[in-house]
Amino acid sequence: MLWTRYAAIGDSFTEGVGDPYEAGAAGGGWRGWADRAAAELAARSNGSGPHGAAANGSGSPGFGYANLAIRGRLLDRIVDEQLPAALDLKPDLVSVSGGGNDLLRPGLDIDALAARMDEAVAAIRATGADAVLFTGVDPVGSPVIRRTRGRVAVFNEHLRSIAARRGAFVVDQWSMDVLRDWRCWSVDRLHMSPEGHRRVALAMLEALGVPGAGDWREPALAPLPELSRGAQRLANARWARGYLAPWVGRRLRGRSSGDTVTAKRPVLAPIE
């Protein structure tokens, strides 16, 4: 199937944080798996979308892509703010990823979180558009975030159930062992590196059944040298001071890294 109107909604994962454009490319800023996947979809588009007229809203046939994701967003704001704006664009494909920031908070009602995601997917499917969901990555290797592993696993089961019930696609990041390698993550251990984003883009295209885009499993990564316990403790302490403490501080002040951020691609536009 060919899609010609793709809208992405979510948090920093979908915004592309951790995967910068090269200087001077696409106006700078963050790239990310959604931009990468959109470029591949655009290359395969024949410009005749199912919603008629121009796929990019410019009056001429072509592929249109919007990315309304904003870092730090909880799922409620993604569903309440980004989803209606995305559906107003009349997309034929919507990727929705959210809940990761919610799962970091204690006392979360996972069933209620899943109900909100189900609401979002139902709204997307009601328009006739296809929907793509993303399970959470297995955080077993993270010294702090691994404490959320049980919650992530339960939410993942909800996501798989929602996808089966609503007829949505699923990118199963939990089963992508390569994403447990720190080379797929930025130094903050919270956002993916360019390599991680590249592999997720390929995994999404695979889930959609897009042929010839590449294999997210390749190239295989050679094992990293094993650190001593002392070196691991030192690295973890530096990470906690440099990245975990500021994150906790923002939470305590009721602030988010996305408070002053706006969507990087709020309307459908061609891929440059």
> How does DSSP assign 70-106, residue by residue?
-TT--HHHIIIIIHHHHHHT--SEEEEE--HHHHTST
DSSP class of 243? I
The pLDDT value given to residue 145: 85
The tens-digit pLDDT sequence of the chain (272 residues) is 789 999 999 999 999 999 999 865 656 699 999 999 999 999 988 544 444 334 444 433 589 999 999 999 999 999 999 999 999 999 999 999 999 999 988 889 999 999 999 999 999 999 999 999 999 999 998 877 888 999 999 999 999 999 999 999 999 999 999 999 999 999 888 899 999 999 999 999 999 999 999 999 999 998 878 878 787 777 777 767 776 677 667 666 666 666 678 999 999 999 87
Distance CA 141, CA 157 (A): 20
Amino acid, single-letter form, for residue 111? D
Contact 31, 20 (CB under 8 A): yes
The pLDDT value given to residue 223: 86
Distance CA 244, CA 219 (A): 31
Specify the 3-state DSSP secondary structure of 207: helix
Q: Where are the domains of the chain?
A: 5-218+229-269
The pLDDT value given to residue 109: 97
What CATH topology corresponds to 5-218+229-269? Rossmann fold (3.40.50)
Angstrom CA distances, 173 to 11, 134, 200, 209, 236, stand at 16, 7, 8, 16, 24
Predicted TM-score (pTM) of the model is 0.86
